[in-house]
Structures are given as C-alpha cells and as structure tokens.
Amino acid sequence: MKKCLAAALVCLLVSCESNSYAPMVTLRMANARAAPYVRHAANPSNRRIEVEILQEGRSLFVSRCIECHTLPIIWYYRPSDWLGIIDEMAERSSLKPAERDAVVAYILAVRAQ
C-alpha cells in the first residue's frame, strides 16, 4: 500500500514537472512567429536581443505570476486570450510596459513552437 502511494506521488510530481510550465528559451523560439511582437525581431542580426528579451520574459513569467497563483499552462489559452490576461495581470504584478512586452513575447513564442 505504501509503495503504491509513493509511486502515485512520484507520478504526480513527474506529471507536474516544472519545465513543461515554462519551457526554456531556444533559438527556434526566437525565430518563431512571436518574433514580430518583439522590437528588432525581424532582423536576424538582432537574434541575440530577441533571446535576451525572451529570457527576461520567462524570468518575469516564472517569478511575478507565482506571487499570487501557480503558473498557468501556456497551452491552455489562445494567443489572443493571453494578451488580455497579461494586460489585466500586469498592473497587479507591477510589470512595466517593457516587461509586459517581454512576457507577452515569451508566451507567444512558446505558443508558436
């Protein structure tokens, strides 16, 4: 019985594995459809900046959101929904406009993968 409970707990934890909620930023992500939302994204020479912006967006996403609630599943909402959600949450989480844009860029980049 105890082994079953332990196995169930391990399965639960594995199924809730954190990175699936906030995937790492990749170059592919930087090139994805979300790129137009990011300043300079259209120019390939600015790819490094795009990656930095996406990394900042991820960093903000995983730190500011969990101040009030656990991380939402990015795939659960459509890109158009995310824009409204982040606009609503930006004030509560004290996001500056540039930070808000970075979070949007990251989420849409993940969605576009």
| Binding site residues, other proteins, CB under 8 A | 12-13, 15-22, 58, 62-64, 66-71, 73, 93-95
How far is the C-alpha of 60 from the C-alpha of 74, rounded, in Å?
14
How far is the C-alpha of 35 from the C-alpha of 67, rounded, in Å?
27
Does the CA dihedral 82-84-88-91 come out positive or negative? positive
Nearest approach in angstroms of CB 85 to other proteins is 11
Nearer to other proteins, 21 or 46 (CB): 21
Nearest approach in angstroms of CB 107 to other proteins is 14
Nearest approach in angstroms of CB 60 to other proteins is 9
Nearer to other proteins, 46 or 52 (CB): 52
How far is the C-alpha of 100 from the C-alpha of 60, rounded, in Å?
9
Nearest approach in angstroms of CB 82 to other proteins is 15
How far is the C-alpha of 71 from the C-alpha of 20, rounded, in Å?
10
**How many residues are present in the chain?**
113
Nearer to other proteins, 18 or 45 (CB): 18
